[in-house]
Amino acid sequence: RVVELYALTYTRPAEITGVRKKVPDIVEMRIAGGSLEDQIAYAADILGGEIAISDHFEAGEYVDVTAVTTGKGTEGPVRRWGVQVRKRKHSRGGKKRHIGNLGPWNPHHVRWQVPQMGQMGYQQRTEFNKRILKIGADSNDITPAGGFLQYGVVRGPYVLIKGSVPGPSKRLVRIRSAIRQGEHVVRTPTIGHISVQSQQG
């Protein structure tokens, strides 16, 4: 019995983007909406074709963005969890950027809630309710003089999103329709000016 339908898709970074990357990103995407027969018909219709973002999203719509964040490596509890640096008499033991203790006597193990050092960043995160400001095809309208820092010149269709997006430049970002839109009203935004001034000083 078929319950859900998924499509195996891949990107074309060398042809569409300015990223010097040959190996495509392969993503398994769920096909939703309508009955199962409608989903199968839609999957057969797009098989072997190209999926453009303008076919599924429009300006003013709210979306969720998912990406792998920038990796920071191994970090201590002060930077990783924001614990307070030990001051005055507490630091005389030779430890300042440590936590006071690992927990109570009982239970006889360290609980997962205790802030400790470890991996920071390079983790998949999703940010909710990002508003699409503009979807366009002419990259000259948004590319600053000299290109974007750590990225270069945009060479294909683009999406302007209000707010932050996880991950560094050149990393794959997945976009889906907002699942917690709430009371946000979809209105087409009016953009007065897009600065294309050089970001290199």
Return the pLDDT at 155.
87
User: Would you identify the CATH topology of the domain 73-120?
Assistant: Ribosomal protein L3; domain 3 (4.10.960)
Can you spell out the DSSP letters for the chain?
----EEEEEE--HHHHSS----SPPEEEEEE-SS-HHHHHHHHHHHTTS---GGGT--TT-EEEEEEEPPP-EEE-HHHHH-PPPP-GGGGGGS-SSS-S-S--SSSSS--TTS---EEES--EEEEEEEEEEEEES-GGGTPPTT-BTTTB---S-EEEESS--SS-TT---EEEE-S--TT---------------S--
User: Would you identify the CATH topology of the domain 52-70+123-183+197-201?
Assistant: Elongation Factor Tu (Ef-tu); domain 3 (2.40.30)
CATH 3.40.50.2300 is held by the domain 1-51: no
Tens-digit pLDDT profile for residues 86-131:
988 888 888 899 998 999 999 999 999 999 999 999 999 999 999 9
Tens-digit pLDDT profile for residues 29-83:
999 888 899 999 999 999 999 989 999 999 999 999 999 999 999 999 999 999 9
Q: What are the residue ranges spanned by the domains of the chain? A: 1-51, 52-70+123-183+197-201, 73-120
Tens-digit pLDDT profile for residues 163-190:
999 999 989 999 999 999 888 888 899 9
